Amino acid sequence: MPSEEYETEATELLETYDFLMKYIVIGEAGSGKSCLLHHFTHNSFKDHSQHTIGVEFSSRTVKLGEKRIKLQLWDTAGQERFRSVTRSYYRGAAGALLVYDITNRDSFTNLSRWLTDARALASPHLVCVLVGNKADKDDEREVEWAEASRWAAENDVHFLEASSLTGDNVEAPFLLAARSILLSIESGALDPEKAGSGVSYGDRALRRVYSSSRLSFGSLSQTRKKGTVKLKLIDTYCLGPCNAYPYICYTLPLHSFASYHLLAVK
Amino acid sequence: MERKLAQGSHQFLEALGEVDQKLEELQRHVAAMHASCDEAETQLKLTNEASAMLLERAGSLSEERQEVENKKSIVTLFLNRFTLNEEEVEAMTSRDVPIGQRFFQAMDKTERIRTDCRVLMAGRGWTNASRYRLDIMASTSSNLEQGYEKIFRWCSYEFRQMGRDMQVEVEDTMREAIPIRSEALTVLSQVRQATLMSSFLTALTRGGPSGLPRPIELHAHDPMRYVGDMLAWVHQAIAAEREFLESLFGLQADGRMVGSVRKFHEKSEEEDWIRELMDLAVGKLCVPLKIRVQQTIRSQESSIISYKIANLLQFYMITMRRTIGEAAVLSTTLNEITEVAYKAFYDAIETQGRALLRATLDLDDPSLAPPLAILDHAQILREVMNVYESSLLGDEGEEEQTAGFRRILDVTVDPAVEFFTSNSEEKKRLRPRWDREVYVLNCLSYLQSVLEPFPFTTQKLNTLQQVVDTKVLHLTEEHSKNIMADAGIQLIAETCEKHDGSEPMSRIPVTLPAQLQTALRNFSLWLSGLEVVQSPRLSQLTAQRLHIKIHQAALERMARSYQLICEQVKKPENKYEAASTLLGSERPFGQVNLLWQIFGLEGDSSKNQ
């Protein structure tokens, strides 16, 4: 994604959203989970990354079609000693990013353990995306794309390769998971109204629900536009031809004068 | 004819007279008309004059009118600038107009009026200025007051509504309204407290939709999971709450991750608000959390689990301190329960230590290996050390690492040492043949081997090593005496050492040549025995290293003693006949050098000769 587009997104972080989703990022230590997240939230590579301690949190709002989705992202430590801590964070996650390092075979072979944990501890509708990280190091590759893809298919998870260094495909896994979750919301399998599902409605979605159609949105924005036009009119009235046509001004009622100028302006 | 002519003339005259009459009349008419015309002209002139005045008047009037209109426009402008129109007043005060753009515009305008008013009236020269100013200020302030009142009601209501959802989000209107009323925030805070509380209880007892993920309390039997799940839930709630508050106050998230340290520089009022609201909202969770964690801690029998819980709590305590500050209620609560957990753990291991001291040794067990009680104790210690090691973040210095574990080592190792030293004394008294020294050394080296893999035990290991060293010294002493006795040269060696030259040694009963001969034969026999290589007693030592060390030290002493014997025997004043023959009759033929070789101590032989 080009950076300009990202910039505009970043400034809109505080805006409304339709859904809020909780993700958890898991995988062996050193597979680049924090870097992947960092690239996703900051759009830059995180140099000299240390091992994550416990769990860390970040968030970002993404756009998927017409929907704005706020992602609350929980980055976990891959080290064994934090296992007992990180396991508690699976609860209430709607999506899981299962990250391995394509240049490290061990990080791939241990995946099933992570997946088992995730399936056991998280909600039954957990959407998993397998991410082969460090795709830029193709010459050091120890896990073939086809093999990982097969594993993903066998275990019913999505799969893609990404690079936190170059930023290739960094957004894709997050969006992929979001799309799957949206689909299961649409199919009714997942109910954002219920606590602990890992998904909830944002204010925007609520408004949409109550107002029967999206027209209310349109009308809302229209009133705002009217406001700005009004402001313009007042400006012209003060600075405009008051002095040039004083008699006409006084004889005409104010509103018709305004409409006259509206025409003039048009 | 004349008459006719006269008659005709007369007729002419008559006719002309008539004409003349008519003309006269006409002239009169003309004169009248003329007069009339003159009159009309005068009249006209007059009128003209009058109308000129009128025109002038009209002109001035119209000028006046324009002036008035100008004034009017100025006044309108002034009024527009300095007063609120009805619509705006309505927007601000009426309950019918919803809070929105209109309301805020009116509020902004009121504020602007008040500022302008202050500026304007500060200038001099306006006599009525202060009166106007007071009027305007009075009316605007009452309007403002009503506006604030209105937005306060609105905020309170909205907060009540929005606070109910677990995940909340903020719209622009709300964001603009916030700086206005702190009372409304109190309402918000109360609602958030209640909401978080009920969601926490739901997560504890009901779990997710249709019970999945399972309620946290379902895992109450697994203390680590139970406590961990609760703390993780709170942690996640904090992150969400923080995001909500940040967007409420319009603060751009600083891109900080929760795990990293938040810097609490007092940068803004909003930051203060956020901190306070956070504290209040999350603080409510402390009560149920604390009760549950304490209950869990109390019900633990295993000291390892207690230690794990304490560690977990400490981890979260540090995390929360970084996230919400040290002064926050949750931080202090965590601090408190962490202390409770540590206390429970220390109590547990201290009890264990005391129990160890009370334990007795099996008197009929001839084994010299560390007893089961010690093995169990060490196993617990080992696990505790594993937990501690995994809890280290890696950035602590060695000093810090050691300090963090010193108390545990003191509480566990000291009673163990105490146990096997005091209890073994008792056993030795009752079973004199039982080898206490070897047993104690075995126990000590076992403890050392347990501690060794962990870097933070160095200090304790050093203390243990000192104990071991004294024991080894003691045992070496004993052992060398033993083997000298076994080899049969103990008495002779002792005599040699004590010999003061007052009497030739060959005259002393112990070292009579015949006695010496026997002793040397015995020694020669002993030398060909197995004990030279390895001592049956010392082979009971589990640490092979100690065995070799002690045995070699003893052998060294033996060699020195033999050397002394040789020297004494060879001395002429000791009056041995054929001293070299006497020594040379049995191995090692008086050659100390050879003895060193037999003992496998060649390295030392050259030095010692």
Q: Please state, as a whole number, how many other Cβ atoms lie within 10 Å of the Cβ of residue B100.
A: 15
Q: Torsions phi, psi of B80, nearest 5?
A: -60, -35
Which residue of A11, A13, A14, A224 to mutate against B (max B Cβ within 10 Å)?
A14
Contact, B566 vs B590, CB < 8 A? yes
Min distance B474 CA to chain A CA atoms (Å): 44
Residue A40: the pLDDT is 92
DSSP H helices in A88-171: 105-109, 111-121, 145-154
**Is the per-residue pLDDT at B422 higher than 50?**
yes
A103 falls in which pLDDT band (50, 70, 90)? very high
* Ordered domains of chain A (ranges, CATH): 3-210 (3.40.50.300), 215-265 (no CATH)
> How far is residue B69's CA from residue B147's CA, in Å, rounded to a whole number?
34
Which range is least confidently modeled, A153-162, A237-246, B228-237, B558-567?
A237-246
Is B477 a domain residue?
no
**Residue B429 is which amino acid?**
R
B275 or B55: which leads in pLDDT: B55
Highest mean pLDDT out of B15-24, B143-152, B374-383: B374-383
A102 falls in which pLDDT band (50, 70, 90)? very high
Residue B177: the pLDDT is 56
Q: Are residues B220 and B320 in the same domain?
A: yes
B315–A54 C-beta distance less than 8 A = yes
A16–B169 C-beta distance less than 8 A = yes
B378 falls in which pLDDT band (50, 70, 90)? very high
> What is the tens place of the pLDDT at every residue in A171-221?
999 999 999 999 988 888 888 877 777 888 776 544 443 333 333 333 333
A14–B247 C-beta distance less than 8 A = yes
> How far is residue B451's CA from residue B351's CA, in Å, rounded to a whole number?
21
Q: What Rg do the C-alpha atoms of chain A give, in angstroms?
A: 26
Is B481 a domain residue?
no
B66–A246 C-beta distance less than 8 A = yes
Which residue of B257, B289, B311 to mutate against A (max A Cβ within 10 Å)?
B257
Q: Torsions phi, psi of B577, nearest 5?
A: -80, 135
Q: Please state, as a whole number, how many other Cβ atoms lie within 10 Å of the Cβ of residue A264.
A: 10
Min distance B541 CA to chain A CA atoms (Å): 37
Last residue of a domain, one of B162, B196, B212: B162
Q: Please state, as a whole number, how many other Cβ atoms lie within 10 Å of the Cβ of residue B402.
A: 17
pLDDT, average across residues B169-182: 58
Q: Are residues B374 and B309 in the same domain?
A: no
Q: Torsions phi, psi of A170, nearest 5?
A: -65, -35
Q: Are residues B557 and B575 in the same domain?
A: yes
Highest mean pLDDT out of A126-140, B246-260, B535-549: A126-140
Q: Among B128, B57, B139, B127, which residue's Cα sits nearest to residue B92? A: B139
The three-state secondary structure class of B74 is helix
Cβ contacts of B247 on chain A, cutoff 8 Å: 14
Min distance A144 CA to chain B CA atoms (Å): 33
Residue A247: the pLDDT is 34
Kindly state the greatest CA–CA separation across chain B.
248
Residue B176: the pLDDT is 58
**Is the per-residue pLDDT at B521 higher than 90?**
no
Mean pLDDT taken over chain B? 83
Is B39 a domain residue?
yes
Q: Among B437, B432, B436, which residue's Cα sits nearest to residue B473? A: B437
B259–A55 C-beta distance less than 8 A = yes
**Residue A207 is which amino acid?**
R
Is B476 a domain residue?
no
> How far is residue B524's CA from residue B246's CA, in Å, rounded to a whole number?
93
> What is the tens place of the pLDDT at every residue in B264-322?
544 567 777 788 888 888 888 999 999 999 999 999 888 899 999 999 999 999 888 88
Who among A90, A122, A191 is closest to B209 (CB)?
A: A191
Last residue of a domain, one of B133, B162, B191: B162
Who among A85, A203, A227 is closest to B169 (CB)?
A: A203
pLDDT, average across residues B231-248: 86
Q: Among B235, B255, B259, which residue's Cα sits nearest to residue A92? A: B235
Cβ contacts of B168 on chain A, cutoff 8 Å: 203
Tokens 């075995």 label which residue?
B442
- Please state the length of chain A: 266
> How far is residue A55's CA from residue B330's CA, in Å, rounded to a whole number?
18
Q: Are residues B552 and B449 in the same domain?
A: no
Cis status, amide bond into B213, omega within 30 of 0: yes
The three-state secondary structure class of A24 is strand
> How far is residue B187's CA from residue B153's CA, in Å, rounded to a whole number?
10
Residue B596: the pLDDT is 83
Is B167 a domain residue?
no
- The residues facing A127 across adjacent strands are A95
- The residues facing A133 across adjacent strands are A101
Residue B174: the pLDDT is 59
Q: Are residues B241 and B387 in the same domain?
A: no
Kindly state the greatest CA–CA separation across chain A.
89
> How far is residue B283's CA from residue B334's CA, in Å, rounded to a whole number?
11
Min distance A132 CA to chain B CA atoms (Å): 24
Contact, B343 vs B337, CB < 8 A? no
Is B596 a domain residue?
yes
The three-state secondary structure class of B245 is helix
Highest mean pLDDT out of B61-65, B128-132, B516-520: B61-65
Angle, CA B423 vertex, CA B419 and CA B425 arms, to 5°: 130
pTM of the model: 0.71
Which are the contacts of B216, defined by CB distance < 8 A and separation ≥ 6?
Answer: A91, B203, B204, B207, B226, B229, B230, B233
Tokens 């080009």 label which residue?
A2
Q: Where are the beta strands (DSSP E) in chain A?
A: 19-26, 55-64, 67-76, 95-101, 127-133, 158-161, 199-201
The three-state secondary structure class of A162 is coil
Which range is least confidently modeled, A100-104, B21-25, B195-199, B586-590?
B586-590
Q: Among A66, A17, A21, which residue's Cα sits nearest to residue A206? A: A17
Q: Are residues B377 and B336 in the same domain?
A: no
Q: Are residues B573 and B550 in the same domain?
A: yes
A37 falls in which pLDDT band (50, 70, 90)? very high
Q: Are residues B20 and B94 in the same domain?
A: no
Residue B104: the pLDDT is 81
Which range is least confidently modeled, A233-242, B181-190, B267-276?
A233-242
Q: Where does residue A221 rank: exposed (0-12), middle (13-18), buried (19+ CB within 10 A)?
A: exposed
B319–A54 C-beta distance less than 8 A = yes
B257–A13 C-beta distance less than 8 A = no
> How far is residue A134's CA from residue A140's CA, in Å, rounded to a whole number?
10
The percent of residues in chain B predicted with pLDDT above 70, rounded, is: 90
Q: Are residues B64 and B119 in the same domain?
A: no
**Is the per-residue pLDDT at B167 higher than 60?**
no
Is B49 a domain residue?
yes
B252 falls in which pLDDT band (50, 70, 90)? low
Min distance A41 CA to chain B CA atoms (Å): 8
The percent of residues in chain A predicted with pLDDT above 70, rounded, is: 70
The percent of residues in chain A predicted with pLDDT above 90, rounded, is: 42
Last residue of a domain, one of B352, B368, B400: B352
Report in angstroms the alpha-carbon separations of A105 from A143, A156, A157, A166, B459: 6, 21, 19, 21, 40
Q: Are residues B206 and B336 in the same domain?
A: yes
**Residue A25 is which amino acid?**
V
Is B279 a domain residue?
yes
Q: Where does residue B223 rank: exposed (0-12), middle (13-18), buried (19+ CB within 10 A)?
A: buried
B117 falls in which pLDDT band (50, 70, 90)? confident
DSSP collapsed to 3 states, B85-113: CHHHHHHHHCCCCCCCHHHHHHHHHHHHH
- The residues facing A129 across adjacent strands are A97, A158
The percent of residues in chain B predicted with pLDDT above 90, rounded, is: 24
Q: State how many domains chain B has.
A: 5
Q: Torsions phi, psi of A73, nearest 5?
A: -110, 130
Q: Are residues B567 and B427 in the same domain?
A: no
Report in angstroms the alpha-carbon separations of B119 from B33, B75, B107, B122: 76, 18, 19, 5
Contact, B297 vs B312, CB < 8 A? no
Q: Are residues B200 and B269 in the same domain?
A: yes
Domain region containing B5: 1-82
Contact, A27 vs A41, CB < 8 A? no
Residue B257: the pLDDT is 40
Q: Report residue A228 as tokens.
A: 């700005």
Highest mean pLDDT out of B48-57, B349-358, B526-535, B543-552: B48-57
> What is the tens place of the pLDDT at every residue in B439-473?
899 999 999 999 999 988 988 999 999 999 999 99
Asked if the ipTM is above 0.85, the reply is no
Q: How far apart are the first and last CA of chain B?
A: 225
> How far is residue B245's CA from residue B278's CA, in Å, rounded to a whole number?
8
